Structure 1
Amino acid sequence: MKRVAKYVLKYKVLFLIPLLAMLTFIALDLIQPYIIGRIIDDVIEEGNMSMLNSLIMALLIITLGKAIFIYISEYLFEVAGAKTSIDIREDLFNHIQRLPFNYFDGISTGEIMSRTTEDVNKIWMGLGFIIRFMVENIVYFTLASIMLFSYNWQLAIITLSVMPIMAKVAFAFEKKVGNTFEKISDQNATLNTAAQENLAGIRLVKAFARERYEIEKFLKENDKYYQYNLENAQIVSKYNPILEFLSNLTLVLVVTVGGNFVIGGQMSTGDLVAFNGYAMMLVWPLRLMGWLTNVLAECQASAKKIFKIMDIKPNIKSPDNPKQPKNVNGHVVFENVSFKHKGKYILKDISIDAKPGSTVAIMGTTGSGKSSIINLIGRFYDCTQGSIKVDGVDVKDRELNELRANLSVVMQDTFLFSDTLKNNIKFGVESTTEKDFQSACQDSMVSDFVDEMEVGYDTVVGERGVGLSGGQKQRVSIARALLKKSKILILDDATSALDMETEFNIQRAVDNRKGITKFIIAHRISAVKNADEILLIEDGKVVERGNHSSLLYKKGKYYEIYKEQFKDIENQTQEVI
């Protein structure tokens, strides 16, 4: 909670105003038992009716004042808590945006969602509600204790004798319930992940008729969540009755011992009534202590998990003094690059010299390391050995945003936002002209199917592009990359879902865009045969390299792939002949 306090200090004025309003409310509340005592002693017992009107008026003013100041206090505490939680959520989200790819390789979307929503909301509740009650109760306890001693120090000591026991019970309660809430928070993230994955893959679930399996899997996680909450309920049910008993015992002692003092003439009836009112101000905080401790433990558990993420230092970030290339041409050089991920070498001793405007194609079996090569260019991962230079400057010496601004990437996993087609295509640019937009859509052949839609580019696609075919989604992704007009274009298996005619037309349009260095990852010979250099990768190593003609002449692995892919065409040709 110390780190949360730093956020609170930003809005210290906003917290100070409701705090002063709360103290004013408490001051008015502390006057009320005294006035009631005077009514009993001076008006009822002594018969001094001249004081009645002024005392009743004072009670009315106090009641109205309490209503006004409690409104100010509650409203502004809530506003201050909301502003603080918004800052925490923004900082958390911004920090997550800066984390590298390898962080997301080992964490679920559901867990991140849980941290940015539910856990931040618990801090909001803690700041806007619980902290206010904690401060209020401490002030009540302190001032009410002083008032008790001013009336009768013996009865005050008897009343306060129960407090250490209650404090010990409350601290034990907080320790146990804090551990439980950590487990509840973790399981909530697991539950969110199960729900998110199921909803994201609902079509696959239905296609394989696995609804019952998914329901049982979700119910299993839901049952764990229930068990942890049940464990928490058992702790609460164990400690809350003890706190309730001790708080009621305090009132019993006040009435019993105080009644004897009144009978013995050591206190007046009005003083006992006033003393009882102040004793209630002690009992009320103690009765709330269990609940406050419970909710505060939730807040602390959530804060711990949020700041655990925020403490992760990005291992890929801009250098303190970044270097800027003199000219942006798209010249990419790999010098003896090796890359290790999770203790295993993915790439070994890779060297590439992609001249500005040239096309480099990469082929290989699944898992051979093709995508890892292009991921290193934009520093989505950092190479373990060797160096990668873009326009003569090592990528590790360049400012990240500037480096990536010169890349246009079509990922292997096509992703579209739940937004209009137009906004999905314009995602990579701040602004663009209508001419450039239409050019990108025509070159990627997006315009071919958009023209048939009722509202055209204003058509809203579903989550992850649901509603479009695989080929249509790939064309939208290509249009998005082309519109960015970067000097380096990376196509990671970007045409795998397209028919050969559409693929050929898009390739021709991309080839006609001069001055762009292109990296093409593909499995089909038709997608790479026009490249200036083709690399064949196996187990992270370059086993063959050259252009299409030279590789066919060598009659090596590339030649074998060529024969395998084109044998059907040759067989059909022979049958026709």
Structure 2
Amino acid sequence: MSGLRGGPPARMMGGGDANAQRARNAEAPKVEHLLRRITELFQPYRMPIILTIVLVLVAAALSVIPPLLTARAFDVGLFPTGGGGPNLPALGEIVGAMIGLYIITTLLGVWQTYLTATVGNKVMGALRVRLFSHLQAMDLSFFTKTKTGVIQSRLQNDVGGVASVLTNTISSVLGNTVTVIAAFVAMLLLNWQLTIVAVLLMPILVIAQRRVGQVRARIATKTQESLSDMTAITQETLSVSGILLSKSFNRQGTEIARYADENANQVRLQVSQQMSGQVFFAMVSIFLSSIPAIVYLVAGFLLDNGAADITAGTIVAFTTVQARLLFPLLGLLRVALDLQTSGALFARIFEYLDLVPQIADAPGAVDVPTRQAAAGRVSFDDVTFRYADASPTSRATLDRVSFDIEPGQFVAFVGPSGAGKTTVSYLIPRFYEATGGRVLFGGVDVRDLKQQSLISHLGIVSQETYLFHATIAENLRYAKPDATQNGLETAAKLANIHDRILSFDDGYDTVVGERGYRLSGGEKQRIAIARVLLKDPAVLILDEATSALDSISERIVQQALDTAARGRTTIAIAHRLSTIVAADVIFVVENGEIVERGTHADLLAAGGAYAALYSEQVTAAIAG
């Protein structure tokens, strides 16, 4: 039966081998590319690396001399070949040379450690800053689709995970390689027959090391993914918002269980990663530790048969050299495993560095025109927008929208939730890119403007005010780092928050807490308005800035907004129509289209969508 079925399995096996070979051939360029990119990280530090190489080579070369001196100590100093007692003068010279070499190699090792630690940590630091800078350049859609904890994990866990490799690889590879080669040379000089015995099984260790490294690389990838998930859970649930949510719904137990499950997975992966190489290194250690005993046996056999001229000094020196071979060889094998493991981490880091921002300055981008009147003009010319992950058959978020906002005008966009109002505010600063038509600022297509220059002319106050865990003054200076105390107070007075700030014990040095949770919603909004006023933009965008406030806070904040809007173009995304009745133009948005436009009085008189919205809110206010 097996003979009848022998053909097909053989062909299948051959196909499997071919597929495996093709996979290896495809993987080789990726590995080479990854190694080249890792090597490029060290390019700015060529001189310290060259000096390190020199120190490593010198120290490694010197480290094999003491075993040779050991043979001399036995054969010349302790047991001279001519007979008689020990040759103390010769022995003193040899011992002095050995001690001197130990001192020199130790000092060289300290210097080498300093250089490698400096270079490694600088490379790691530069890599972290480079990754952070690249993420800062990513478009808004990347952050809406990626958990903050996952991003934090790439910056902290992944970059931190390669720290030891960056710090120790150069010295370890060079030093151990030179030591191993020099030790082999010394062993050959002492006795070539014993050297063959010592290195007979080395190729098997190299093959085993490669297999173990592949396993550890796969486990490392899974470990970092698990760390990302743990960081994301921590960031989501231990933030002020997350804690309030879990306490409000009594879900602390659920969050603890979710974290505990992922933590158990992380523990399992960490144990697997550490144990994956232990059996291998145990075998290596047993093998290398057993070689001296085998050498004694082989030496005895050779002496008994007269096949070699071996002295006691030769045997002692040979086993000493072989013992010195143990740790460098283990070090090389560990570095090889670490490099395979860290390759997975580098791949994850480069994966983020290779992300291309969807929105970037065009090659010929220019600054916004300096004329204040031109800078304050905003126009949409037949603009269409659809989110990248939206279905091709779904309705566009904005569909062929056109309007003009003149410098100094106060305009408002109203309409039901999901109509596309906020999207309008995102397209002006190019947080998202229009998929059709043109968005003009100062008469220039925003795609032809430098985004940094564009945003410098815009001030945005959103419904969800974000404040850093810092003082009020530091939060205000985020808009203008060189602002004076007088400038801060002027902006705060215009925002109707100065007196409230002074009522705090620490005044402008009051720490607001994470996301400003020590302040009320109205206080946070007014600080946000003061921050925008400190920036003094040509165009002010208000994205439902008062919709989450109570009526008293809304009235106070609205007064601050009215002050902020004075003398500048203002675009208000409004939910409460009572806040925009004085607007020069009101645009009514439904299903991504502008269905009405005009003043408050004109739109009420028209009796259309705006009049219906206004009537509905008035009725709700009376009922409330």
TM bucket normalised to smaller: over 0.9
1:266 to 304, 309, 315: 309
Secondary structure at 1:545 match in 2: strand
Secondary structure at 1:137 match in 2: helix
Does 2:43 match 1:9?
yes
Shift in Å, 1:435: 4.6
Give 1:37's aligned amino acid.
Answer: A
Which residue of the partner structure matches residue 313 of structure 1?
Answer: 356
Q: 2:333 & 2:459 partners in 1: Cα distance? A: 56
Q: 1:540 & 1:208 partners in 2: Cα distance? A: 35
Classify 1:497/1:450 alpha carbon distance in 2 versus 1 (closer, same or farther; 3 Å). farther
1:172 to 205, 211, 215: 211
Is contact 2:411-2:587 (8 Å) kept?
yes
Does 2:584 match 1:532?
yes
Does 2:44 match 1:34?
no
Does 2:251 match 1:218?
no
Deviations 1:241-266 (A, max 9, x none): 33223323433432322343455452
Q: 1:2 & 1:258 partners in 2: Cα distance? A: 46
Shift in Å, 1:498: 3.1
Shift in Å, 1:343: 2.5
Classify 1:571/1:148 alpha carbon distance in 2 versus 1 (closer, same or farther; 3 Å). closer
Shift in Å, 1:135: 2.1
Secondary structure at 2:586 match in 1: strand
Secondary structure at 1:368 match in 2: coil
Which residue of the partner structure matches residue 63 of structure 1?
Answer: 102
Which residue of the partner structure matches residue 104 of structure 1?
Answer: 143
Is contact 2:121-2:167 (8 Å) kept?
yes
Is contact 1:187-1:225 (8 Å) kept?
yes
Which residue of the partner structure matches residue 291 of structure 1?
Answer: 334
1:333 to 371, 379, 390: 379
Is contact 2:409-2:568 (8 Å) kept?
yes
Give 1:327's aligned amino acid.
Answer: R
Which residue of the partner structure matches residue 134 of structure 2?
Answer: 95
Give 2:113's aligned amino acid.
Answer: E
Q: 2:303 & 2:43 partners in 1: Cα distance? A: 49
Shift in Å, 1:156: 1.4
Q: 1:187 & 1:348 partners in 2: Cα distance? A: 42
Shift in Å, 1:428: 1.4
Q: What RMSD, in angstroms, separates the aligned Cα atoms of the two structures?
A: 2.0
Secondary structure at 1:408 match in 2: strand
Which residue of the partner structure matches residue 364 of structure 1?
Answer: 415
Which residue of the partner structure matches residue 15 of structure 2?
Answer: none
Classify 1:467/1:298 alpha carbon distance in 2 versus 1 (closer, same or farther; 3 Å). farther
Q: 1:234 & 1:502 partners in 2: Cα distance? A: 60
Give 1:34's aligned amino acid.
Answer: L
Classify 1:69/1:9 alpha carbon distance in 2 versus 1 (closer, same or farther; 3 Å). same
For residues 4-403 of structure 1, the aligned pairs below 5 Å read: 4-46=38-80, 47-200=86-239, 201-262=242-303, 264=306, 266-324=309-367, 325=369, 327-329=371-373, 330-341=376-387, 342-344=389-391, 345-403=396-454
Secondary structure at 2:210 match in 1: helix
2:597 to 526, 542, 545: 545
Is contact 1:443-1:506 (8 Å) kept?
no
Deviations 1:451-506 (A, max 9, x none): 22001111011111121122222221121112111101011111123343443454
Is contact 1:88-1:120 (8 Å) kept?
yes
Q: 2:299 & 2:572 partners in 1: Cα distance? A: 89
For residues 512-523 of structure 1, the aligned pairs below 5 Å read: 512=563, 513-523=565-575
Secondary structure at 1:427 match in 2: coil
Shift in Å, 1:323: 2.9
Is contact 1:250-1:283 (8 Å) kept?
no
Give 2:301's aligned amino acid.
Answer: N
Normalising by structure 1, report the TM-score. 0.94
Q: 1:571 & 1:234 partners in 2: Cα distance? A: 69
Classify 1:195/1:509 alpha carbon distance in 2 versus 1 (closer, same or farther; 3 Å). closer
Normalising by structure 2, report the TM-score. 0.88
Is contact 2:56-2:174 (8 Å) kept?
no
Is contact 2:439-2:446 (8 Å) kept?
yes
Q: 1:205 & 1:273 partners in 2: Cα distance? A: 69
Shift in Å, 1:293: 3.6
Is contact 1:360-1:519 (8 Å) kept?
yes
Q: 1:326 & 1:469 partners in 2: Cα distance? A: 38
Deviations 1:433-453 (A, max 9, x none): 445432321232222421220
Give 1:36's aligned amino acid.
Answer: T
Shift in Å, 1:326: 5.3
Is contact 1:363-1:370 (8 Å) kept?
yes
Which residue of the partner structure matches residue 482 of structure 2?
Answer: 431
Shift in Å, 1:31: 0.6
Q: 2:439 & 2:350 partners in 1: Cα distance? A: 34
Is contact 1:25-1:70 (8 Å) kept?
yes
Is contact 1:361-1:535 (8 Å) kept?
yes
Give 1:302's aligned amino acid.
Answer: L
Shift in Å, 1:364: 2.2
Give 1:240's aligned amino acid.
Answer: F
Give 1:96's aligned amino acid.
Answer: L
Give 1:550's aligned amino acid.
Answer: D
- Number of aligned pairs? 572
Deviations 1:503-542 (A, max 9, x none): 3454345445543111111210111111111122222222
